[in-house]
Amino acid sequence: MTTLVKPRTLFIGLTLLCGLATWLSLALGPVSLPLWDTLRAALRLMGLPIDAHGLEQAELILGQIRLPRTLLGLAVGGVLALSGVAMQGLFRNPLADPGLVGVSSGAALGAAVAIVGSAFLGGLPDVFGPYVLSLCAFAGGLGVTALVYRLGRRDGQTHVATMLLAGIALTALSGSAVGLFTYLADDATLRTLTFWNLGSLNGASYSRLWPLLLVTAGVALWLPRRAKALNALLLGESEASHLGVDVEGLKRELVFCTALGVGAAVAAAGMIGFVGLVVPHLVRLLAGPDHRVLLPASVLAGASLLLCADLVARLALAPAELPIGIVTAFIGAPFFLYLLLRGRA
């Protein structure tokens, strides 16, 4: 496959796109703020000394609602896309998505336990409530992934094919456990569960944001250092190890980064499908399979896609809101098909 765009052009384009998406995400919303106010409030939030007179509403909407939401969108989109690249590299298959190692289904199971469990116990104090759900989802994702990884190991070697099948089996198992919880849940709990599964950036707050930002920054700084090793892995495991790559170490890192990144993203925003699968694919269609380009470009593209999807989610039915999981697929799938079919013509 030939590359369509030079890496330099791609990076400039994606950076502009991401910047534009960020600005739109801050500037647009159901509450219409004058552009000038938005700009001044944004500058004030950056700490510039600007007269606060008449800016109270803009600053509140921007600082308390749109900024945390935008940051959440950037982090979730970026880390999901990165994990997608990691998984597609690990399985050497462009159809792999982060769900393959069980992290999504594990997180869903953790969330189901938290939602149904806390309803069963008669609700938790408000202070805990949101954190319990996030922590359980994160722990569930990490736990199931660890199990999948263990099952894939034999004689000190990680068998990717075994891991893939173990991932499918454990996903099915977690799915049936979630089903059981769904059956046990009462009406109210059931609806909470359904909406959680569709994902949302709604109600983002700084306290839930920081852990995710840290994880995202960590993964985004770490994975690109392994870009060359990932490129070598494209040739095959034995070829990569002949080239001097510590293949076992690389696999471990990839699985760990994915579990951490997707676990944190899902814990903060619920299940948001499609980004991890399609964004790396899109970038590959544009710029080829070199991981030195693919990894950083996917972060930018994932973040941009998620912010755009979130804009649609909150503007389409305003003052009500769509779950973002619906929108990511709705925007992403046709675009993806277009790219695929255009290559054929």
Residues that bind another protein (CB under 8 A): 29-32, 45, 47, 52, 56-57, 59-61, 63-66, 126, 129-130, 183, 185-188, 191-192, 195, 200, 202-206, 208, 314, 317-321, 323
- Cβ proximity to another protein: between 35 and 320 the closer is 320
Q: What's 62's DSSP letter?
A: I
DSSP string for 245-296:
--HHHHHHHHHHHHHHHHHHHHHHH----SHHHHHHHHHHHHH-S-HHHHHH
Amino acid at 70: T
Identify whether the C-beta of residue 5 lies closer than 8 Å to the C-beta of residue 286: yes
- Cβ proximity to another protein: between 86 and 133 the closer is 133
Shortest CB 217 distance to another protein, Å: 18
> What is the crossing angle of helices 7-27 and 35-45, to 10°?
110
- Cβ proximity to another protein: between 47 and 244 the closer is 47
Return the exposure string of 253-276: e unless at least 16 CB atoms fall within 10 Å of the residue's CB, then b.
bbbbbbbbbbbbbbbbbbbbbbbb
Report the run of H or E that residue 15 belongs to, with start and end.
helix 7-27
Shortest CB 183 distance to another protein, Å: 8
Q: How far is CA 186 from CA 117, 180, 213, 271, in A?
A: 11, 12, 34, 21
* Alpha carbons 173 and 176: distance in angstroms, whole number: 5
- What SS3 class is residue 153? strand
Beta strands in 84-174 (DSSP E): 153-154, 157-158
- Cβ proximity to another protein: between 192 and 241 the closer is 192
- Cβ proximity to another protein: between 116 and 282 the closer is 116
Shortest CB 304 distance to another protein, Å: 21
Shortest CB 45 distance to another protein, Å: 6
Identify whether the C-beta of residue 261 lies closer than 8 Å to the C-beta of residue 213: no
- Cβ proximity to another protein: between 61 and 76 the closer is 61
Terminal alpha carbon distance of the chain: 14
Shortest CB 164 distance to another protein, Å: 34
Shortest CB 75 distance to another protein, Å: 17
Shortest CB 186 distance to another protein, Å: 5
- Cβ proximity to another protein: between 50 and 339 the closer is 50
Shortest CB 110 distance to another protein, Å: 18
Q: 142 CB contacts (<8 Å, ≥6 apart)?
A: 103, 106, 259, 260, 263
- Cβ proximity to another protein: between 118 and 258 the closer is 118
